[in-house]
């Protein structure tokens, strides 16, 4: 009996030097493949492939473009019977057009779409009609059932699945359908010789928090066993060429802060890799002020801690169901000063009830406290979230197709949102540039002395029509006394400079140059 070939189709077009292994930017496909291959019947019936198509541009220009022909050829030469697409807000339009074209060239191929974009299947099917089957939520159990029933294509009664039959869509019921994540084999082991650069790892699925703008909390919270966590981390840290590993759990310190044996085992793996290996983690504001944070950070040891603040304005936090994180900036004040330069603070704009003034005040306060690594994200009104369902009553204006950016709120006009968005772009880019400078403590002192006035200077420069490269070059010159050649925006700047950060922060205002 001939075997059917299942091909996962995805492209990743971010900075490949930052995340250079396919197992990370096609992570969902690798998890699904590993799980499906544990089922003997499926292993006998299907060949599963995950081609790396990321060297080819997105399919968006039509059949007259040679790149498109190369991309189509790279998929179809594998003679797939099923094409599976993992859809996110950044790739769904391009992959939808690719699926449409592939169906024209190979009409007998079954196209299956899953991923965060497929939440609210009825709406998704209307927006992106080129797929044959939709899978909402965790993919392991629904995709297994689809493959088991493929011969007669009767997908009725498979929870969380929609499919086209007789020219119309049939939407099955939504219901919990999750596998035991410990049953998914350690797929990193087979790929370890291909893993290098920067990677990330999750010990959980789902989230205990329930922020209105996020889809992660729609999944039930599940945690891998200690044994599985240690097995997979040992593979990633000890057996690959990774230079940086980011633990992406929503709050690693909350999850494992009391498990000293586990943390000590991880610390031993990290220490054996030496100083050229970076270990980073995510946490929430409540965890950074916990007793013993210094001991914990130094024992692991942690190079960077990303803290999901989102807003320092309590009414804005409460408006999106983040009252649990509504303690404002108090935890940041409690952090020892010399640890603050290790922290990357994530913020989001425009949350409901946030104003340009309250957001600016948060930025200025963080800079004044010495937190100079800020990443500012634009609020997305994602399909399937409570925020999307409440958008009309909350008065939110947003794009109804990817990237779903929120354009305005009752407290932030479209013009104000754009202005703060441009500010956030410069600040996020500045974080990337400063990450290459050696003396983080001197940089922290510079920001403390500046007392947040950098925010006003950048806004004034934006209002004056200056571009991000010009603005950032001026500020970086003030911080470290060096002119970077090349474009920051395009990633062409040369650095980091050999000169240490300047000592402007150590003199009074009258002696400082601007």
pLDDT exceeds cutoff 80 at 338: yes
Among 15-29, 105-119, 244-258, name the most confident range. 105-119
Comparing 161 with 1, the larger pLDDT belongs to: 161
Sheet of strand 343-349, all strands in order from the earlier edge strand to the far edge:
196-201, 241-247, 278-283, 304-310, 343-349, 373-378
- Give the tens place of pLDDT for each residue, 505-514: 333 333 333 3
Pairing of strands 406-408, 397-398: antiparallel
Sign of CA dihedral 408, 413, 414, 416: negative
Q: Residue 325 has what DSSP assignment?
A: G
User: What local confidence, expressed as pLDDT, does residue 3 receive?
Assistant: 92
Identify whether the C-beta of residue 431 lies closer than 8 Å to the C-beta of residue 373.
yes
User: What local confidence, expressed as pLDDT, does residue 217 receive?
Assistant: 72
CA distance 232 to 358: 43
Confidence of residue 185 (pLDDT cuts 50, 70, 90): very high
User: What local confidence, expressed as pLDDT, does residue 6 receive?
Assistant: 98
Q: Which two tokens stand for residue 84?
A: 């599976």
Q: Which residues contact 460 (CB under 8 A, 6 or more apart)?
A: none
Distance linking the first and last C-alpha atoms of the chain: 75
Identify whether the C-beta of residue 178 lies closer than 8 Å to the C-beta of residue 221.
no
Confidence of residue 494 (pLDDT cuts 50, 70, 90): low
- Please, what is the angle between helix 468-480 and helix 453-463, to 10°? 150
- Angle at Cα 115 formed by Cα 390 and Cα 282, nearest 5°? 80
Query: Is 389 exposed, middle or buried, given 0-12, 13-18 or 19+ CB atoms closer than 10 A?
Result: middle
CA distance 438 to 270: 21
User: What local confidence, expressed as pLDDT, does residue 207 receive?
Assistant: 86
CA distance 95 to 318: 36
Nearest to 296 by CA among 256, 329, 333: 256
CA distance 266 to 230: 7
pLDDT exceeds cutoff 80 at 172: yes
Confidence of residue 25 (pLDDT cuts 50, 70, 90): confident
Q: Which two tokens stand for residue 460?
A: 């004034």
Q: Which two tokens stand for residue 220?
A: 């039930």
CA distance 1 to 339: 62
Nearest to 322 by CA among 208, 211, 220, 173: 211
Confidence of residue 294 (pLDDT cuts 50, 70, 90): confident
- Give the tens place of pLDDT for each residue, 363-402: 999 999 999 999 999 999 999 999 999 999 999 999 999 9
């Amino acid at each position: 009996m001939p075997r059917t070939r299942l091909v996962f189709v995805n492209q990743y077009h971010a900075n490949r030097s930052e995340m250079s292994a396919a197992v990370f930017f096609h992570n969902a496909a690798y998890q699904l493949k590993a799980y499906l291959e544990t089922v003997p019947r499926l292993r006998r019936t299907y060949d599963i492939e995950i081609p790396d198509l990321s060297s080819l541009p997105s399919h968006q220009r039509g059949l007259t473009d040679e790149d498109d022909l190369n991309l189509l050829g790279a998929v179809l030469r594998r003679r797939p019977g099923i094409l599976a697409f993992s859809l996110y807000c950044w790739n769904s339009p391009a992959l939808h057009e690719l699926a449409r074209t592939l169906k024209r060239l190979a009409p007998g191929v079954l196209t299956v779409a899953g991923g965060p974009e497929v939440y609210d299947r009825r709406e998704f099917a209307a927006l992106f009609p080129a797929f044959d089957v939709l899978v909402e939520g965790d993919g392991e159990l629904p995709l297994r059932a689809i493959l088991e029933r493929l011969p007669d294509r009767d997908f009725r009664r498979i929870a969380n699945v929609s499919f086209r039959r007789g020219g119309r869509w049939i939407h099955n019921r939504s219901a919990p359908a999750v596998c035991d994540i410990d049953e998914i084999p350690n797929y990193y082991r087979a790929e370890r010789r291909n893993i290098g650069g920067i990677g990330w790892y999750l010990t959980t699925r789902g989230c205990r928090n329930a922020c209105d703008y996020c889809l992660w909390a729609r999944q039930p919270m599940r945690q891998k066993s200690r044994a599985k966590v240690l097995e997979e981390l040992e593979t990633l840290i000890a057996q690959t060429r990774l230079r940086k590993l980011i633990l992406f759990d929503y709050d690693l310190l909350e999850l494992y802060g009391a498990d000293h044996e586990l943390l000590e085992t991880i610390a031993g793996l990290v220490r054996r890799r030496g100083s050229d290996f970076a270990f980073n983690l995510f946490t929430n504001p409540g965890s950074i002020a916990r007793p013993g944070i210094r001991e914990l950070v130094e024992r692991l040891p942690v190079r960077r801690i990303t803290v999901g603040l989102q807003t320092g304005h309590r009414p804005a936090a409460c408006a999106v169901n983040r009252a649990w994180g509504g303690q404002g900036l108090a935890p940041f004040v409690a952090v020892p000063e010399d640890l603050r330069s290790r922290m990357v603070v994530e913020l989001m704009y425009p949350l409901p009830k946030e104003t340009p003034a309250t957001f600016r005040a948060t930025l200025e306060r963080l800079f004044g406290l010495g937190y100079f690594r800020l990443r500012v994200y634009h609020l997305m009104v994602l399909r399937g979230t409570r925020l999307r369902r409440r958008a009309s009553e909350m008065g939110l204006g947003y794009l109804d197709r990817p990237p779903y950016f929120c354009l305005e709120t009752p407290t932030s006009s479209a013009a104000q949102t754009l202005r703060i968005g441009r500010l956030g772009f410069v600040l996020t880019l500045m974080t990337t540039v400063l990450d290459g400078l050696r003396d983080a403590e001197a940089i922290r002192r510079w920001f403390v002395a500046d007392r947040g006035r950098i925010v006003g200077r950048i806004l004034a420069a934006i209002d004056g029509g200056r571009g991000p490269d010009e603005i950032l070059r001026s500020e970086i010159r003030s911080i470290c006394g060096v002119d970077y050649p090349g474009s920051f925006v395009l990633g062409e700047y040369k650095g980091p400079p050999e000169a240490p950060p300047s000592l402007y922060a150590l003199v009074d205002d009258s002696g400082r140059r601007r």
